[in-house]
Amino acid sequence: MAVVGIDLGTTNSLVAIWRDGKTDVIPNALGEKLTPSVVSLSDKGEVIVGRAAKNRLVTHPERTVSQFKRLMGTKERVNLGGKRFLPEELSALVLKQLKQDAEAWLGEVLSEAVISVPAYFNDNQRRATVAAARVAGLHVERLINEPTAAAVAYGLHEDAAEAQMVVVDLGGGTLDVSILEKFDELLEVHASAGDSFLGGEDFTHSIVTQLARKYSIDLTDLSPQERGGLYRFSDKVKESLSENQAAQFEMKLAEDTRQFEISRDEFSKWSATLMERFSAPLERAIRDAKLKRDDVADVILVGGASRMPIIKNYVGRLFGRIPSSNLDPDQVVGMGAAIQAAMKARNKELKETILTDVCPYSLGVNVAQEFQQGYQSGFFDVILQRNSVIPISRVSRYRTVADNQPKLSFGIFQGESRLVKNNIYLGQVEIEVPTAAAGEECADVRFTYNVNGILEVIISVPSTGEEKILVLQNSPNQLTDEEIAVSLEKIASYRIHPRESAKNIALLSEAERMYSEHLGYERDEIQQLIYQFEYALESQDPEHVEAVGARVKARLEEIKSGFVF
């Protein structure tokens, strides 16, 4: 049975497989390699995923959602057409669509996958990804960090010579920086840093806010459809500025047709604060790895947002070389995940390589510190230092601080602050100890961090032999087995549009979006095209639908080609 690699991205997702000596990125029902990570709910209660859903961000914003990957690991619920979804459930719908597309293409049932995650994903986010896969009907063979997957796709694991590589992965919603070294049969990560809330979407948002300021637009006065259209055009402008020194577009806002223009220099100024956030993780990773510029064999740019000239230029200046981006930045992570899946399946075509990764955050417990006025809690005691090579297991001993203290309580945290209130809470565990004088009783706390980046905590009392294992799914932000079962039932109850109609749904949603964005005779023509296609659909004649759909699509492409950025 095949094991696929999946890149579950903030903006786009894809599924790939290694076979016949190469990586194949599996196309979806529309024949596209990338499936937008967007979910929409139709008026009939049907789930729409991918390109058609993305079009509905403009036409049906109240029934459509994107960027929910940023909410993974939280219990925040997303309102979608009056229904409330957990981030894991929305991600599961995307994974389920990828699974269906792959099964149709391969002609076999899939049950296992290697799924990539941002290297800087915390424990809650990683467990949420595994839960989403379970809801989608997939067993996670392994989670692989996105920069490591990219390095594998570039063949660093096959390089006979020792080499160090820097991978900078700027996707739609996250930034990851990893420094890797290849020697013998080992591909080892030396340092990892990043920002789970910085990506291409933030650069798009900066264009929207600065355009509003430049052209005196009150965003709160715009309708949801107008705001959606402005974001879409701003995203197109961002892409256009990767190739051109300036970009223009026009759209109707509050009954007025507005002309917009932005230069590459303006965009660079508007992005200054974001670039400060971008530079900090790079500098931290270099510092943690004790890296020297001359030691670097290659610098790889990954993620669609890495195409922006401000990113390429900054990374080039920092490392004194032109970064590599000869593989498609949008597909390289999924390709690497597919190669790792083949390695796990012991594919004989691939050289067996041991991949090691690092713990991107420090992990520890909440402890009390002694001051003149007595003990004060809330301080972070690190058990696993950030960038420790995994898998890893470490133990620390903690003693009672009061006479006749009946138990020891440990809060588990992840982060870099000396105060636990500034770190990420992962869970809590208590264990009873025999009453005795302060300091006479103790408990050992063992942290074990595995290759999937998931933490196991074991608390034991040496004097009694009592032991407790912290099940982190029981922390406030994790789905329990019961909640996963409920989500499975919930997702199953929503009808998913069949693959056979996915092309038609996408074409209609594209036409509806274009209708909302155009004016005058072009809007009237688009409306007539929609009528023609809907009439053809009513005939239920596949050949007629195919013929009319092809004509409508061709004309829509002609209309779009005259709309210059």
Instruction: Report the CATH number that the domain containing residue 394 is assigned in CATH.
Output: 2.60.34.10
**pLDDT class for 474, splitting at 50, 70, 90?**
very low
Return the SS3 of 377: strand
Q: Is 360 exposed, middle or buried (0-12, 13-18, 19+ CB in 10 A)?
A: buried
- Decide: 55 and 98 in contact? Cβ < 8 Å: no
Q: Give the lowest-confidence range in 93-107, 287-301, 349-363, 368-382.
A: 349-363
Whether residue 489 is contained in a domain is answered as no
User: How many CB atoms lie under 10 A from the CB of residue 272?
Assistant: 10
Whether residue 82 is contained in a domain is answered as yes
Angle between helices 123-135 and 481-493 (to 10 degrees): 50
Largest CA distance in the chain: 87
User: How many CB atoms lie under 10 A from the CB of residue 7?
Assistant: 30
Q: Are residues 83 and 156 in the same domain?
A: yes
Partners of 112 in the beta sheet? 3, 139
pLDDT of res. 311? 95
User: How many CB atoms lie under 10 A from the CB of residue 186?
Assistant: 12
Q: Are residues 451 and 534 in the same domain?
A: no
**pLDDT class for 101, splitting at 50, 70, 90?**
very high
**Given the structure tokens 């989670």, which residue do they identify?**
143
Going by C-beta distance under 8 Å and a sequence separation of 6 or more, which residues neighbour residue 534? 508
**Given the structure tokens 């690092």, which residue do they identify?**
358
**Given the structure tokens 């030691």, which residue do they identify?**
295
> Which one has a higher pLDDT value, 21 or 170?
170
User: How many CB atoms lie under 10 A from the CB of residue 216?
Assistant: 6
Catalytic position from the list 89, 123, 141, 146: 146
Question: If residue 442 lies in a helix (H) or strand (E), which one and from where to where?
Answer: strand 442-449
Whether residue 244 is contained in a domain is answered as no
- Decide: 398 and 445 in contact? Cβ < 8 Å: yes
**pLDDT class for 2, splitting at 50, 70, 90?**
confident
Whether residue 20 is contained in a domain is answered as yes
Q: Are residues 138 and 277 in the same domain?
A: yes
User: How many CB atoms lie under 10 A from the CB of residue 495?
Assistant: 11
pLDDT of res. 278? 95
Q: Are residues 539 and 414 in the same domain?
A: no
pLDDT > 90? residue 181: no
What one-character DSSP code corresponds to residue 269? H
Cα–Cα nearest to 398, from 465, 447, 460: 460
Whether residue 220 is contained in a domain is answered as no
Query: Which domain does 22 fall in, by range?
Result: 3-198+273-358
Residue 236: φ, ψ to 5°: -65, -40
Task: Specify whether 7 is catalytic.
Answer: yes
Q: Are residues 45 and 153 in the same domain?
A: yes
Structure tokens at 213: 């300021």
Partners of 468 in the beta sheet? 459
Task: Specify whether 184 is catalytic.
Answer: no
CA atoms of 40 and 48, how far apart (whole Å): 5
CA atoms of 132 and 85, how far apart (whole Å): 12
Residue that terminates a domain, selected from 333, 358, 383? 358
218-277 pLDDT per residue, tens:
888 888 888 888 888 899 899 899 889 998 888 877 677 888 889 999 999 999 999 999
Residue that terminates a domain, selected from 327, 358, 389? 358
Return the SS3 of 24: strand
Catalytic position from the list 7, 101, 141, 181: 7
Q: Are residues 298 and 341 in the same domain?
A: yes
36-71 pLDDT per residue, tens:
999 999 888 888 999 999 989 888 889 999 999 999
Q: Is 385 exposed, middle or buried (0-12, 13-18, 19+ CB in 10 A)?
A: middle
Please give the average per-residue pLDDT across 510-520, as a whole number: 80
Q: What is the distance, to the nearest Å, from the Cα of residue 32 to the centroid of all Cα atoms in its chain?
A: 19
pLDDT of res. 491? 75
Whether residue 145 is contained in a domain is answered as yes
Q: Return the amino acid letter for 288.
A: D
Please give the average per-residue pLDDT across 445-453, as a whole number: 85
Instruction: Report the CATH number that the domain containing residue 85 is assigned in CATH.
Output: 3.30.420.40
Q: Are residues 163 and 174 in the same domain?
A: yes
Task: Specify whether 481 is catalytic.
Answer: no
Query: Is the previous residue joined to 434 through a cis bond, with omega within 30 degrees of 0?
Result: no
Q: Are residues 113 and 194 in the same domain?
A: yes
Q: List C-alpha distances in Å: 203 to 199, 232, 274, 565.
A: 7, 12, 7, 18
Measure the N-to-C terminal CA separation of the chain; round to a whole number of Å: 46
pLDDT of res. 563? 43
CA atoms of 73 and 111, how far apart (whole Å): 23
Whether residue 420 is contained in a domain is answered as yes
CA atoms of 488 and 292, how far apart (whole Å): 49
Whether residue 444 is contained in a domain is answered as yes
pLDDT > 70? residue 100: yes
Catalytic position from the list 101, 123, 169, 517: 169
CA atoms of 327 and 304, how far apart (whole Å): 11
What's the structural domain count of the chain?
3
Half-sphere exposure in the Cβ direction for 415 (13 Å, CA): 17
Q: Are residues 192 and 49 in the same domain?
A: yes
Q: Are residues 448 and 302 in the same domain?
A: no
User: How many CB atoms lie under 10 A from the CB of residue 471?
Assistant: 14
Cα–Cα nearest to 229, from 105, 59, 345: 59
Q: Are residues 77 and 150 in the same domain?
A: yes
Half-sphere exposure in the Cβ direction for 345 (13 Å, CA): 19
User: How many CB atoms lie under 10 A from the CB of residue 112?
Assistant: 17
Q: Are residues 372 and 511 in the same domain?
A: no
Catalytic position from the list 54, 69, 99, 182: 69
Residue that terminates a domain, selected from 310, 331, 358? 358
Task: Specify whether 146 is catalytic.
Answer: yes
CA atoms of 478 and 488, how far apart (whole Å): 15
